[in-house]
């Protein structure tokens, strides 16, 4: 199979490393993490078979570097979507889920590299390093949810989003992912708010 057309060109030594990451992302999107070789990446960049090894020890190292780039990209998107939890946490958590779905669709090579089999687990997309601080803590309190639940909510939104993204990629969703995400996050927050008085 020919290398991805967008990546097929010659690169100077100075910019080969990012070019190899771009080529790997395209190859992973097309063939999956196990469906290409270092030689394929070299050919996609128009360099010799040995050139990639000046930057990456092997394919595993290339995929790990791609996963690290993917994690930085995803975290930046999630942080922007979170927007300090404003104007209220329900909308903010929903934006985080939507950003996650968009990342899986728009950067499939990075997404698949980050969550490939055997990869180191990605840290959970926490909404705030200080979940008991405003505006998140106050906003959750207004919903009847303790600020300590922020981490749990983030993990549950992550699970919903990741599940929907995976099922959508497999063509196994009978309803739009956004619709399911919206309803799932809403029910999650309402359920936690309903549990809070009972626990108190």
Q: What is the DSSP string of 7-41?
A: G-S---GGGHHHHHHHHHHHHHHHH-TTS--HHHH
Query: For residue range 96-134, what is the model confidence (pLDDT) as tens digits?
Result: 899 999 999 999 999 999 999 877 776 655 555 454 444
Distance CA(160)–CA(166), nearest Å, equals 10
Question: Half-sphere exposure (CA, 13 Å, Cβ side) for 183?
Answer: 6
Given the candidates 3.30.160, 1.10.10, 3.40.50, 3.30.70, the CATH classification of the domain at 9-56 is 1.10.10
pTM as predicted:
0.82
pLDDT of residue 20: 97
One of 3.40.50.2000, 1.10.3210.10, 3.40.50.620, 1.10.357.10 is the CATH number of 63-199, namely 1.10.357.10
Share of the chain above pLDDT 90, in %: 54
Report whether 16 contacts 45 (CB < 8 A): yes
Q: Is the pLDDT at 73 greater than 50, yes or no?
A: yes
- Peptide linkage before 87 cis (omega within 30 of 0): yes
């Amino acid at each position: 199979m020919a290398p991805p057309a967008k990546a097929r060109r010659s690169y100077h030594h100075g910019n080969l490393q990012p070019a190899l990451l771009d080529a790997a992302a395209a190859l992973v999107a097309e063939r999956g993490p196990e469906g290409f070789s270092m030689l394929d990446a070299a050919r996609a960049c128009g360099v010799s078979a040995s050139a990639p090894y000046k930057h990456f020890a092997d394919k595993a190292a290339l995929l790990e570097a791609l996963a690290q780039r993917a994690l930085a990209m995803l975290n930046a998107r999630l942080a922007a979507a979170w927007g300090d939890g404003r104007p209220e946490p329900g909308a903010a958590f929903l934006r985080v889920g939507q950003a996650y779905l968009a990342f899986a669709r728009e950067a499939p090579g990075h997404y698949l590299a980050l969550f490939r089999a055997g990869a180191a687990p990605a840290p959970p997309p926490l909404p705030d390093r200080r979940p008991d601080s405003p505006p998140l803590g106050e906003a959750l309190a207004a919903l009847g949810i303790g600020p300590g639940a922020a981490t749990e909510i983030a993990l549950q939104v992550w699970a919903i989003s990741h599940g929907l993204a995976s099922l959508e990629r497999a063509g196994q969703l009978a309803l739009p992912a956004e619709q399911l995400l919206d309803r799932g996050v809403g029910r999650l927050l309402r359920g936690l708010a309903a549990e809070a008085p009972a626990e108190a």
